[in-house]
Amino acid sequence: MQLLHQVIASNARQQPYKSAIILDGQATSYQALQKQVDKTASVLRTLGIAPGDRVGLYAPISIDVIGSYLGLLQIGAITAATHHTLGRTKLIHQLRHSGARVLITDCTDDLPSLIVDAGLELVLLTAPLRGTIPGVVQLADAIAAHCDESSTMFSQQTNDPECPTSIFFTSGSTLNPKGVLVNHRIMLAACSRVTAYLRNTPDDRILSYSTLASDYGVYNVLMPLYAGATSVIESRPAASAEDVLSLVEREAVTAMHIFPPVLFLLANASPRWQARVSSLRYISSSGQALHSRHIQRIRQALPQVQIFSNYGLTECKRVSYLSPDEIDLRPTSVGKPLPGVSIYLVDEQDRVIDHAGQVGELLVTSDYLMLEYWNMPEANAKAFVHNAFGHSRLFRTGDLFKKDTEGNLYYIARKDDVFARNIWSVNPREVEQCLASHPAVTAVLVVPITDESAGHVPKAYIVLDIDHQQTNGQELIDYCKEHLDWHMVPTQCVFLEALPKTDSGKFNARGLI
């Protein structure tokens, strides 16, 4: 079995001069990328990085970082990435939690204390540094000074698909994100299944706004390379539909892998764009619920473009997808499980729910389910159900779903997102769907706020459509009263110019209350 980096190396041998990466408009060929990978792997091994060593990544997306990630796979090390915009405290915590000996970073601030605080032995810098610091090596200089040992390296690399590759940290509070451990087998299975249903080919040029700090970003960058296609990456977030579609036009993009906030931008696209982005075949979105009104707008502006609505999670990559030919029929569904994925909806007693429309927690298993949470035995004990429904283990997603009569899944909410107003349960996602159906609302987040008499009540943060700036909060509250039960109606509507986002690009309610 070829491992992921070996598949990419094979593609490089078959099409050396084809663009593998287009990063912020700068192209790197498969041959140039593979040379970077081989040289980086050789340097890493010479510096003493061994199979099984954990190596932190803390830098914005770059060819150096992509080459480092693949080089680490080549020598059998395990990556542990932290988003480069997160603070030093979280970086140190995640480095210590993973047991990382080495950090690859562009951060030059107070490196001696970082080395001590994080327990590091070595820092590899991807940015210039004046002077020398013990334990700090400039990666570019090391690569330039090192002899080419790529042929030797190829014979030294691991060929065991069970060898761990990466620790992907989930979103969490400042000091307790979980580290999801995966191996080569898992990454290969995920790449194979997702590229199959998206029908990716070497002719694709796939756009994402990605870093390598999450599983979603890593797969967005590497899946096109797995398919022999071109990975088009923008490091800067888009600010408008024109930003996105101009990029599609310039780079002849055939596919987009994005979070819903980018899709919401495209809801403001004009039908005149259709001819200019004729290369675009599909848009694939996951991470948050899609709103029907936004889908309708995109379908009107870009009728030739297929829309894939997906559901997945760090622990099990991609669980389900809705076929694009059903997006008009059931726009709020995330479809059915991928081949090889088994799912069950269960009640509070872990009994299977068979009735359409009944809500339960989703349990899932597949051949690309994570190995475990890294160094978190208590979390692992809670996360898995063993020897149930004919499976050795199932993962508790913590997500509530329902099914329709045809077996299509509909996301309801996180179990811990639902809150009580008096004795009544409030699902913020249902309130958001209602508000998003109003023509004045471009984006919305609903959060619980403390109330002396009710315990908690819903509060809505809203971005208004540019053509409906005169809409007031009471109008939207009245609209909710017409469409929702009384306990679901928000007590306040606050208007913002933009909703905050996580570092990965999802809308984020944290800090709004």
Radius of gyration of the chain (CA): 23
Q: For the domain covering 417-495, report its CATH number.
A: 3.30.300.30
Taking residues 5-32, report their average pLDDT: 98
Distance, CA of 35 to chain centre = 28
pLDDT band at residue 90 under the 50/70/90 scheme: confident
pLDDT digits (tens, 9 = 90+) for 284-340: 998 777 788 889 989 988 999 999 999 999 999 999 999 999 999 999 999 999 999
Residue 423 clears pLDDT 80, i.e. is over it:
no
Residue in 223, 174, 180, 231 with CA at minimum distance from that of residue 205: 231
What residue type is 146 in one-letter code?
H
Question: What was the pLDDT predicted at 153?
Answer: 42
Question: What was the pLDDT predicted at 157?
Answer: 55
Q: How far apart are alpha carbons 400 and 409 in whole angstroms? A: 10
Q: 428-460 burial by CB neighbour count: b if 16+ within 10 A, else e?
A: bbbbbbbbbebebbbbbbbbbeeeeebeebbbb
145 token code pair? 């000074």
Residue 187 clears pLDDT 50, i.e. is over it:
yes
Question: What was the pLDDT predicted at 172?
Answer: 52
Taking residues 407-433, report their average pLDDT: 87
pLDDT band at residue 158 under the 50/70/90 scheme: low
Instruction: State the pairing for strand pair 282-285/255-258.
Output: parallel
Residue 79 clears pLDDT 70, i.e. is over it:
yes
Question: What was the pLDDT predicted at 464?
Answer: 94
pLDDT above 90 as % of the chain: 73
Q: How far apart are alpha carbons 230 and 214 in whole angstroms? A: 20
User: CATH number of the domain at 30-182, out of 3.40.50.980, 3.40.50.1780, 3.40.980.10, 3.90.79.10?
Assistant: 3.40.50.980
Question: What was the pLDDT predicted at 504?
Answer: 65
Residue 401 clears pLDDT 90, i.e. is over it:
yes
Q: How far apart are alpha carbons 263 and 266 in whole angstroms? A: 5
Q: How far apart are alpha carbons 67 and 139 in whole angstroms? A: 11
Residue 436 clears pLDDT 80, i.e. is over it:
yes
pLDDT digits (tens, 9 = 90+) for 362-375: 999 999 999 999 99
Q: Comparing 30-182 with 237-413, is the CATH topology the same?
A: yes
| Angle value at C-alpha 164, between 55 and 86, nearest 5 degrees | 40
Q: What is the pTM of this model?
A: 0.86
Contact 351, 396 (CB under 8 A): no
pLDDT digits (tens, 9 = 90+) for 206-255: 999 999 999 999 999 999 999 999 999 999 989 889 999 999 999 999 99
Strand boundaries in 82-184, DSSP class E: 102-105, 122-125, 136-138, 164-169, 179-183
Averaged pLDDT score across all residues of the chain:
91
Please state, as a whole number, how many other Cβ atoms lie within 10 Å of the Cβ of residue 46. 12
pLDDT band at residue 510 under the 50/70/90 scheme: low
Taking residues 22-48, report their average pLDDT: 97
pLDDT digits (tens, 9 = 90+) for 196-206: 999 999 999 99
Question: What was the pLDDT predicted at 451?
Answer: 82
Residue 98 clears pLDDT 50, i.e. is over it:
yes
Taking residues 142-163, report their average pLDDT: 68
Q: In degrees rounded to 5, what are phi and psi of residue 243?
A: -55, -45
Question: What was the pLDDT predicted at 148?
Answer: 58
Question: What was the pLDDT predicted at 145?
Answer: 86
243 token code pair? 């930003």
State which H helix or E strand residue 116 sits in.
helix 111-118
pLDDT digits (tens, 9 = 90+) for 245-294: 999 999 999 999 998 888 888 887 777 888 889 999 999 998 777 788 88
Query: Is domain 237-413 in CATH 3.40.50.12780, yes or no?
Result: yes
Question: What was the pLDDT predicted at 467?
Answer: 87
Taking residues 97-119, report their average pLDDT: 96
Residue in 395, 331, 407 with CA at minimum distance from that of residue 368: 395
Domain ranges of the chain: 30-182, 237-413, 417-495
Question: What was the pLDDT predicted at 174?
Answer: 40
Residue in 314, 322, 509, 326 with CA at minimum distance from that of residue 429: 509
pLDDT digits (tens, 9 = 90+) for 350-397: 999 989 999 999 999 999 999 999 999 999 999 999 999 999 999 999
Distance, CA of 435 to chain centre = 25
Question: What was the pLDDT predicted at 378?
Answer: 95
pLDDT digits (tens, 9 = 90+) for 455-507: 889 999 999 988 899 999 999 999 999 999 899 999 999 999 988 887 667 77
Residue in 326, 315, 289, 492 with CA at minimum distance from that of residue 407: 326
Residue in 295, 355, 354 with CA at minimum distance from that of residue 326: 295
pLDDT above 70 as % of the chain: 95
pLDDT band at residue 16 under the 50/70/90 scheme: very high
Higher pLDDT, 126 or 506: 126
